[in-house]
Structure 1
């Protein structure tokens, strides 16, 4: 009897899941960018665009007529992604350039060459990221997640900000995460040398993205360059490859997760939506304004993180 009850229970659950699946998927998909804005004659730079939401963002923006530059650590994978984008979007103007955000010398070399060869930059999407990796350091000795997700993009933006201003109106989109809710900026141990938890280090880096956006926004006032951060949602992607637990959860609860195309919608929205022309320093999710955790609204923390980041990178950003 017990076995029969168990079988019937699983059957009922399975039937309910089949009936509810379309509704679950519709809810999980989240917001959609409705803007029909064209980007003909515009140049877009997307980091980490050889896979996941970065690639889907590139597909969409290329379909709007933009010249899309994929900045990737692995050029071979980038070229494969570029070929796919050209297949999916007829006449797509897409190219690949090498950029390793875990190495400031690579970032500087990339920017130097970029500034010589590219005359305009209208959209910069800081999309690349590392999630829950074992403790590692970048080429410059930074904890990997903070180094790539925050410091690498901080330096890249600093080096390209002049071009963005000259190309104005222009936009910067910073891909953060709901994970910032669980992050704290450990000013006493920013590089997690005293103790390391891969999940908490990831959350700290995503909180740093929020604080960077909120500090940069006012600094760009009057320049016609805007910056906004986004939470793409929980997306089926390669980002969880370092975590067995997260990989299993994403496998079992796949129906509740966004596809990369669905996860790219808010990045696309912040890159093109006409109503955001003068909106800066804000956070978005599902193509609507999103709540920022209290630690992401700390004036003191964002200023201190900004100053520390400049010191670590050896730059002065007024």
Structure 2
């Protein structure tokens, strides 16, 4: 019997942590793609206490750094020939202008670009599995603003628009995967789990600015357990949620900017060009 393998980004806190703990008995092996190796080590011990039979591997991966993503993917491809389920979960909110080491807006780099590259690199392994599943953690914040050029290096910073566009990007990624690979058996789901308020990265800005940002984001806040359950449902019911947008566990229609096919095509093409890739 083939070993079942799941990989997840951002597993050490918030929704990611809750998701892994809930799925600890669902797979034979779990790959923790984490930036903070110390936190990942603590999580590994917790998971092994919950299920001593599961195999846990820590893969260093900083989604905001392209070289780190490439190295993580290479490590996985070197060791494994298939990957049953990839969960693109890691994400940040920044209340001040920050750039990644590659020169991109930090939220766009972490939430979208890194995951796009990781998915591209690992997709052959996913397609080589029996399950063939990708779960993309998006957000209802995709409604905050339409996608706008320059896509990856905006001239002006706006916390709401920047976060919304990064999550709109993840929604576009899920839609693109479904469109291109569903006929080959890939089951892709975009999930809005809500955001865990205690796990949102607050930057070094004034309390007034940070307070305003998080007050406006408050409608999206959920508990860790509430948030992770929508991801868990998507993982456990791939056929039911394949090709759909899950809004806190309920299949929902994509609205506004998420339905802009022309912009999606332009944005995905720009991503491929930026990463020097021919296709997703």
Looking at structure 2, the residues matched to 312 and 303 of structure 1 have their Cα atoms a distance apart, in angstroms, of 14
Looking at structure 1, the residues matched to 21 and 9 of structure 2 have their Cα atoms a distance apart, in angstroms, of 14
1:212 to 146, 160, 173: 173
Looking at structure 2, the residues matched to 196 and 296 of structure 1 have their Cα atoms a distance apart, in angstroms, of 21
Provide structure 2 residue ranges, at least 5 long, that are not aligned to the other structure.
204-208
Looking at structure 2, the residues matched to 223 and 275 of structure 1 have their Cα atoms a distance apart, in angstroms, of 14
Partner in structure 1 of residue 206 of structure 2:
none
Aligned-partner SS, 1:96: strand
CA pair 295-261 structure 1, distance change in 2 beyond 3 A: same
2:199 to 238, 243, 251: 238
Partner in structure 2 of residue 175 of structure 1:
137
Deviation, 1:109, is 1.1
Alignment partner of 1:76 is 2:38: yes
Looking at structure 1, the residues matched to 267 and 198 of structure 2 have their Cα atoms a distance apart, in angstroms, of 29
Deviation, 1:106, is 1.0
Partner in structure 2 of residue 105 of structure 1:
67
| Greater CA drift, 133-142 or 308-317 | 133-142
1:136 to 92, 98, 104: 98
Q: Map residues 132-211 of structure 1 onto 2, 5 A cutoff.
A: 132-187=94-149, 189-211=150-172
Aligned-partner SS, 2:97: coil
Deviations along 1:136-174, whole A, 9 cap, x unmatched? 211211111111111100000000111111113311011
Looking at structure 2, the residues matched to 112 and 72 of structure 1 have their Cα atoms a distance apart, in angstroms, of 15
- RMSD in angstroms over aligned alpha carbons? 2.4
Alignment partner of 1:260 is 2:215: no
CA contact 1:237–1:260 (8 Å) conserved in 2: no
Looking at structure 2, the residues matched to 182 and 236 of structure 1 have their Cα atoms a distance apart, in angstroms, of 18
Deviation, 1:237, is 3.4
1:284 to 246, 260, 270: 246
Looking at structure 2, the residues matched to 73 and 304 of structure 1 have their Cα atoms a distance apart, in angstroms, of 30
Looking at structure 1, the residues matched to 164 and 24 of structure 2 have their Cα atoms a distance apart, in angstroms, of 31
Aligned-partner SS, 1:172: strand
Normalised by the size of structure 2, how large is the TM-score? 0.90
| Greater CA drift, 153-162 or 126-135 | 126-135
Alignment partner of 1:270 is 2:231: no
Aligned-partner SS, 1:264: helix
Partner in structure 2 of residue 306 of structure 1:
268
Q: Return the index of the structure with the highest Cα Rg.
A: 1
1:67 to 23, 26, 29: 29
Looking at structure 2, the residues matched to 258 and 292 of structure 1 have their Cα atoms a distance apart, in angstroms, of 20
CA contact 1:173–1:270 (8 Å) conserved in 2: yes
Q: How many residues align?
A: 274
Looking at structure 2, the residues matched to 185 and 169 of structure 1 have their Cα atoms a distance apart, in angstroms, of 32
CA contact 2:135–2:189 (8 Å) conserved in 1: yes
Deviation, 1:103, is 1.2
CA contact 2:187–2:238 (8 Å) conserved in 1: no
1:117 to 75, 79, 85: 79
